[in-house]
Amino acid sequence: MPKAIPSTPATASLPVDASSSLWSRLSSWAADNKAVAYTIGAVVVVVTGAGVVYYLNQTGDVKKLGQFPVPDSPTERAADGSARKKKKKTKKPKKEDAEKPADGAASKAAPPPPPTIEVEDELPEITEASVTQFTQEERKTYAGKLKGLGNDAYNKKNYDEAIKLYTQAILCKPDPIYYSNRAACYNAQSNWSAVIEDTTAAIALNPEYVKALNRRANAYEQTEEYSKALLDYTASCILEQFRNDNAAASVERLLKIVAETKGRKMLEGKPKRLPSPTFVTNYLQSFREKPAPEGLEDATDENTGDYYLNKGLQDIKLKTAQSYEEAAQAFEKALELGVSDQYQAFAYNMRGTFKYLKGDGADALQDVTKSIELDPNMTQSYIKRASMVLETGDKDGAEDDFNRAIAVNPEDPDIYYHRAQLHFITLEYSEAARDYQKSIDLDRDFIYSHIQLGVTQYKQGSVASSFATFRRCQKNFDKSPDVYNYYGELLLDQNKYEEAIEKFNTAIDMEKAVRPMGMNVLPLINKALAVFQSHQNYQEAEKLCKTALILDPDCDIAIATLAQLLLQQGRVSEALEYFEKAADLARTEPEIVNALSYAEATRTQLEVQEKYPQLAARMSMAGAASAAAAAGMGMPR
Ligand SMILES: *[C@@H]1O[C@H](CO)[C@@H](O)[C@H](O)[C@H]1NC(C)=O
Ligand SMILES: *[C@@H]1O[C@H](CO)[C@@H](O)[C@H](O)[C@H]1NC(C)=O
């Protein structure tokens, strides 16, 4: 199984560069998820790379918890899972928590303790009944001695004996350390329910007992109670102010497990649906517009597949959520009824396209392959298949299809444009620039080749030539809102806020004029980022995102941006709602898992705050102290 190609955010305004601003890093999820698709106007690949989880408190301070990988494919994830288990086993002996009781245990190098029997003889018999006879002072003394003996027994791996001694110590004096130490014995015996019981008792006595929390978390993980394990590790991380790398790594691991488990369940019951019209439009317009196959417009008999094929094409032109859904149904219906021979390849191509958009990669691949069989001259089918196989991580397969397409028609500018996208995504910028240029040479009228060339030049570090490209575009394509939108993104990345906002405003006005029904909401979201970054204007940023959502309720990039705006303001429960909504809208498993990771991280943070109100207070104090340092700088782990 080839490794999936890591995605790179193509959006200038959404870099995942760790050294860039706080907000940009927060936005990396959106970037990871969809920026490629949106920016370059084609869903070439929506392979999610790594997500970054941030924890926030009321003052807006951010704690980065680290990165967690998102599964590339179910097969790979399975392989991953077994690898993870193995690793855990070999690591275990080194784990301090599992090996040593929490406190007061002598190290192995320490001199051997006096013979146990002798000391034990000095102690009276300790039972629930006898203990009541002793004074407080006596109980304390005996408890201390018993604990010492228990530690000795533990170090000799005499766990049953140690358990007995700690149990007696607890009878003398309920102490969180004794419970936690006894839990360490149960831990060594893999008696998870007993570990959970004892650590819970320890935590009840001392809610900030990090060692007990970690130990209970491990037991929950062993018993596959992942959400509970995640909660404990998160609390532990916050208590130690994210200084414990082990706990932080555990949070990442658990987040991944919880998100994957939930994600798979979600996917099972999920009907396949189209993404937002913004997404669909961007994909469809990544191919040059072609006239409908000859004669198809005359198909008026509603009982024929040809009629539905034509209907689907008409539906697409409206660019709304409903019309795209109707188009998808029309193409299904067309092939159900059967179309005339000359339209067959085209019909499979279109049905495959919409299946692909719905996230049904396997069926989509079948359809375009069928289309290629029926008409080996249809270059577009090769190009679409290349995107599909690239999404599964098969870069060579994608290249093969581009080469086949070129063999059929070396003059088709679409081939070079899409091959350029492949290069762009795999960070091969000079190859990408060459292919965009070739596509432009073959057809100067396709705006996205120019825009994308400009973005590529920017990525290559040629800011001047990039801006020159955009200025030329502005002149030559004065009716295209996209030019202004992407130009604005580059300006935003240069921190030229006012100029960027001006471009976004122009793009918004043009969008309204050109497609009032199916407006592309990207400029609205970009403007939200700009007003937030330049003036910390949460209210307006939020309003812009909400406007975008009224126009395109399923726009996941708007939802992601809004969720992060809310999180940034410490409005955690509202943020959670949007993260969940994003998961609900996601089409593919990696997307769902990624969104759920954020939802779960947010939910867990909320739960920790509820369970440990004293922690929440401390977090905001720590936040106030470091908020200034946090802004724009690398955050401490
Ligand atoms: C685990 O510990 C509890 C409490 O001591 C005990 O009752 C139970 O039998 C143990 N379970 C196993 C599987 O050893
Ligand atoms: C494909 O194009 C070639 C050359 O233009 C032509 O000879 C062949 O018949 C075409 N094949 C189909 C299936 O249309």
- Note the pLDDT of residue 72: 28
* Residues with a CB atom less than 6 Å from ligand 2: 375-377
Looking at the domain assignment, is residue 249 inside a domain?
Answer: yes
Looking at the domain assignment, is residue 132 inside a domain?
Answer: yes
Looking at the domain assignment, is residue 230 inside a domain?
Answer: yes
Q: How many Å lie between the centroid of ligand 2 and the Cα of residue 376?
A: 8
Task: Return all residues near 38 (Cβ < 8 A) that are at least 6 apart.
Answer: 11, 278, 279, 282, 522, 557
Looking at the domain assignment, is residue 240 inside a domain?
Answer: yes
Pick from 95, 69, 57, 67: nearest CA to 238: 57
Residue whose CA lies nearest to ligand 1 atom number 7: 194
Looking at the domain assignment, is residue 125 inside a domain?
Answer: yes
Structural domain count, the chain = 1
Ligand nearest to the CA of 407: 2
Burial 111-144 (b: 16+ CB within 10 A, else e): eeeeeeeeeeeeeeebeeeebeeeeeeebeebbe
CA–CA separation, 533 and 528 (whole Å): 8
Q: Is the CB of 191 under 6 A from ligand 1?
A: yes
Ligand 1 atom index nearest CA of 193: 1
Q: What is the largest CA-CA distance in the chain?
A: 105
How far is the CA of 499 from the CAs of 22, 50, 505, 534, in angstroms? 22, 32, 10, 11
CA–CA separation, 10 and 612 (whole Å): 40
The tokens describing 85, both together, are: 């288990």
Q: In testing the pocket of ligand 1, which one of 167, 192, 193, 223 has its CB within 8 Å of the most ligand atoms?
A: 193
Looking at the domain assignment, is residue 351 inside a domain?
Answer: no
- Note the pLDDT of residue 220: 97
Q: What are phi and psi of 207, to 5 degrees?
A: -60, -15
CA–CA separation, 236 and 201 (whole Å): 16
Q: What is the DSSP string of 381-427?
A: HHHHHHHHHHHTT-HHHHHHHHHHHHHH-TT-HHHHHHHHHHHHHTT
Q: Is the CB of 188 under 6 A from ligand 1?
A: no
Q: Is the CB of 620 under 6 A from ligand 1?
A: no
Ligand nearest to the CA of 341: 2
The tokens describing 314, both together, are: 């008409």
Pick from 607, 550, 557: nearest CA to 582: 557
Residue whose CA lies nearest to ligand 1 atom number 2: 194
Q: What are phi and psi of 52, to 5 degrees?
A: -120, 130
Ligand 2 atom index nearest CA of 376: 13
- Note the pLDDT of residue 444: 93
Q: Is the CB of 194 under 6 A from ligand 1?
A: yes
Instruction: Show the domain range for 105.
Output: 96-267
How far is the CA of 353 from the CAs of 305, 361, 584, in angstroms? 17, 10, 22
Q: Identify the three-state secondary structure at position 176.
A: helix
Q: State the DSSP code for 117.
A: H
Looking at the domain assignment, is residue 250 inside a domain?
Answer: yes
Distance of CA 63 to the CA centre of its chain: 17
Q: How many Å lie between the centroid of ligand 2 and the Cα of residue 341?
A: 15
> What is the H or E stretch that residue 448 is in?
helix 447-459
Q: How many Å lie between the centroid of ligand 2 and the Cα of residue 490?
A: 44
Q: Is the dihedral of CA 212, 213, 214, 217 positive or negative?
A: positive
Q: What is the mean pLDDT of each run of 10 residues along the chain (637 residues)?
A: 32 26 34 34 24 35 33 28 34 40 46 44 78 88 94 96 96 95 97 97 94 96 95 89 83 90 85 84 87 89 94 93 95 96 96 92 94 96 93 89 97 95 90 96 93 94 95 92 92 93 95 80 92 90 94 85 84 88 82 84 85 69 33 24
Residue with tokens 């997500």, as numbered in its chain: 51
Q: What are phi and psi of 62, to 5 degrees?
A: -120, 135
Q: How many Å lie between the centroid of ligand 2 and the Cα of residue 356?
A: 27
Q: State the DSSP code for 47.
A: -
Q: Is the CB of 606 under 6 A from ligand 1?
A: no
The tokens describing 371, both together, are: 């289309």
CA–CA separation, 119 and 135 (whole Å): 20
Q: What are phi and psi of 50, to 5 degrees?
A: -110, 150
How far is the CA of 176 from the CAs of 204, 576, 635, in angstroms? 8, 34, 33
CA–CA separation, 527 and 637 (whole Å): 31
Looking at the domain assignment, is residue 381 inside a domain?
Answer: no
The tokens describing 248, both together, are: 């932080």
- Note the pLDDT of residue 560: 85
- Note the pLDDT of residue 267: 83
How far is the CA of 19 from the CAs of 9, 24, 186, 495, 632, in angstroms? 15, 9, 45, 15, 7
Ligand nearest to the CA of 371: 2
Q: How many Å lie between the centroid of ligand 2 and the Cα of residue 377?
A: 6
Ligand nearest to the CA of 190: 1
Residue whose CA lies nearest to ligand 1 atom number 10: 191
For the whole prediction, is pTM greater than 0.85?
no
Q: How many Å lie between the centroid of ligand 2 and the Cα of residue 368?
A: 18
List the CATH number of the domain containing 252: 1.25.40.10
